[in-house]
Chains A and B, each alone.
Chain A
Amino acid sequence: MPSMASGPAGATTEEREVISVSGLSHAYASSGRTLLVLSEVQLQVRAGSYVALTGDSGEGKSTLLALLGGLQRAQGGELVVAGQDLRRLPSQQMARFRSRTIGFVFQHHCLVESLTALENAALAALINGVSRPEAVARARALLAQVGLLERAGHLPGRLSGGERQRVAVARAMVNRPALILADEPTGNLDERNAQRVMDLIEQLRHEYGATLLVVTHDSSLASRAATTLRLKEGRLEAA
Chain B
Amino acid sequence: MSWGATFRLALSSLLRRPARSGLTVLGVAVGSALLVALGSIASVAESRAVEHFGKGLPVGAIKVADDAPASWQLQTDDFQLAGHKDLNQDAIRQIRRLPNVRAVVPIQAAPVLVVPPSGDSFGATMAGTDLGLGADSPVSVLAGRLPAAASLTEVAVTQSYLDHTHPGRPPGAAVGEAIQVAEPRVEAPGSEVPFRPRWFRAKVVGVVSQDVAGADLLVPLQQTTAAREWELSGAAAPPGLRGEGSIRSPYSALIVIADSIDTMHGVRVGIDQIGFATSAPEHVLAAVLRYLHVVDIVLVGIGAIAVLLAGLNIANALLTAVRERRREIGVLKAIGARDRDVVRWFLLEATLLGFLGGVAGTLAGLLLAQALALKVSEYLTQQGIPIEALRLQDLPYAVVLLGVGGSWLLALLAAAVPALRAAKMPASEAMAEL
Q: List chain A positions with a Cβ less than 8 A from chain B.
A: 62-63, 65-66, 69-72, 91-92, 95-96, 98-100, 104, 106-108, 110-115, 119, 123-124, 126-129, 132, 171, 175, 183
A127 in contact with B434 given A98-B335, A112-B9 (CB within 8 Å):
no
Chain B CB count within 10 A is highest, among A98, A112, A115, A175, for: A112
A127 in contact with B428 given A63-B434, A106-B331, A132-B4 (CB within 8 Å):
no
Q: Is the interface of B mostly helix, strand, loop or mixed?
A: helix
- Known contacts A112-B328, A119-B8, A129-B1; 5 additional CB pairs below 8 A are A95-B338, A99-B335, A104-B430, A123-B335, A127-B5
Q: Is the CB of A71 within 8 A of B335?
A: no
B432 nearest in chain A by CB position: A108
Q: Is the CB of B13 within 8 A of A114?
A: yes
Say which residue of B2, B4, B332, B426 sits within 8 Å of A112 (CB atoms): B332
CA distance A127 to B3 in the complex (A): 11
A104 nearest in chain B by CB position: B334
B333 within 8 Å of A by Cβ?
yes
B241 within 8 Å of A by Cβ?
no
Pairs A-B, 5 closest by C-beta atoms? A99-B336, A114-B16, A114-B12, A126-B5, A110-B331
Q: Is the CB of A71 within 8 A of B426?
A: yes
A96 in contact with B336 given A112-B328, A114-B15, A127-B1 (CB within 8 Å):
yes
Q: Is the CB of A132 within 8 A of B5?
A: yes
User: B427: which A residues are within 8 A, CB to CB?
Assistant: 70-72, 98
Q: List chain B positions with a Cβ less than 8 A from chain A.
A: 1-2, 4-5, 8-9, 12-13, 15-16, 327-328, 330-339, 341, 426-428, 430-434
User: B9: which A residues are within 8 A, CB to CB?
Assistant: 112, 114-115, 123
CA distance A49 to B302 in the complex (A): 68
Q: Is the CB of A71 within 8 A of B431?
A: yes
A155 nearest in chain B by CB position: B16
Q: Is the CB of B337 within 8 A of A110?
A: no
Q: Is the CB of A107 within 8 A of B432?
A: yes
CA distance A134 to B177 in the complex (A): 76
User: B339: which A residues are within 8 A, CB to CB?
Assistant: 91, 95
Q: Nearest Cβ distance between residue A68 and chain B, in whole angstroms?
A: 12
User: A128: which B residues are within 8 A, CB to CB?
Assistant: 336
CA distance A127 to B331 in the complex (A): 12
User: B434: which A residues are within 8 A, CB to CB?
Assistant: 62-63, 66, 72
Q: Is the CB of A127 within 8 A of B337?
A: yes
Q: Nearest Cβ distance between residue B303 and chain A, in whole angstroms?
A: 34
CA distance A95 to B341 in the complex (A): 11
Q: Is the CB of A98 within 8 A of B431?
A: no
CA distance A113 to B16 in the complex (A): 8
Q: Is the CB of B333 within 8 A of A115?
A: no
User: B8: which A residues are within 8 A, CB to CB?
Assistant: 119
Q: Is the CB of B430 within 8 A of A110?
A: yes
Q: Nearest Cβ distance between residue B275 and chain A, in whole angstroms?
A: 75
User: A98: which B residues are within 8 A, CB to CB?
Assistant: 333-336, 427
A66 nearest in chain B by CB position: B428
B431 nearest in chain A by CB position: A62
Q: Is the CB of A126 within 8 A of B332?
A: no
CA distance A70 to B336 in the complex (A): 10
Q: Is the CB of A66 within 8 A of B431?
A: yes
Q: Nearest Cβ distance between residue A174 and chain B, in whole angstroms?
A: 9
A-B pairs with beta carbons under 8 Å apart, 20 shown: A66-B431, A66-B434, A71-B431, A95-B338, A96-B336, A98-B336, A99-B335, A99-B336, A104-B335, A110-B327, A110-B430, A112-B9, A114-B12, A114-B15, A115-B9, A123-B5, A123-B332, A127-B332, A127-B335, A129-B1
Q: Is the CB of A183 within 8 A of B334?
A: no
Q: Nearest Cβ distance between residue A185 and chain B, in whole angstroms?
A: 12
Q: Nearest Cβ distance between residue A109 and chain B, in whole angstroms?
A: 9
CA distance A113 to B321 in the complex (A): 13
Q: Is the CB of A115 within 8 A of B12?
A: yes
A112 in contact with B331 given A126-B1, A132-B4 (CB within 8 Å):
yes
Q: Nearest Cβ distance between residue A28 and chain B, in whole angstroms?
A: 9
Say which residue of A70, A110, A127, A183 sits within 8 Å of B341 (CB atoms): A127
User: B16: which A residues are within 8 A, CB to CB?
Assistant: 113-114
B428 nearest in chain A by CB position: A71
Say which residue of A92, A111, A119, A126 sits within 8 Å of B2 (CB atoms): A126
Q: Nearest Cβ distance between residue B234 and chain A, in whole angstroms?
A: 89
Q: Nearest Cβ distance between residue A7 and chain B, in whole angstroms?
A: 28
Q: Nearest Cβ distance between residue A2 and chain B, in whole angstroms?
A: 25
Q: Nearest Cβ distance between residue B326 and chain A, in whole angstroms?
A: 11
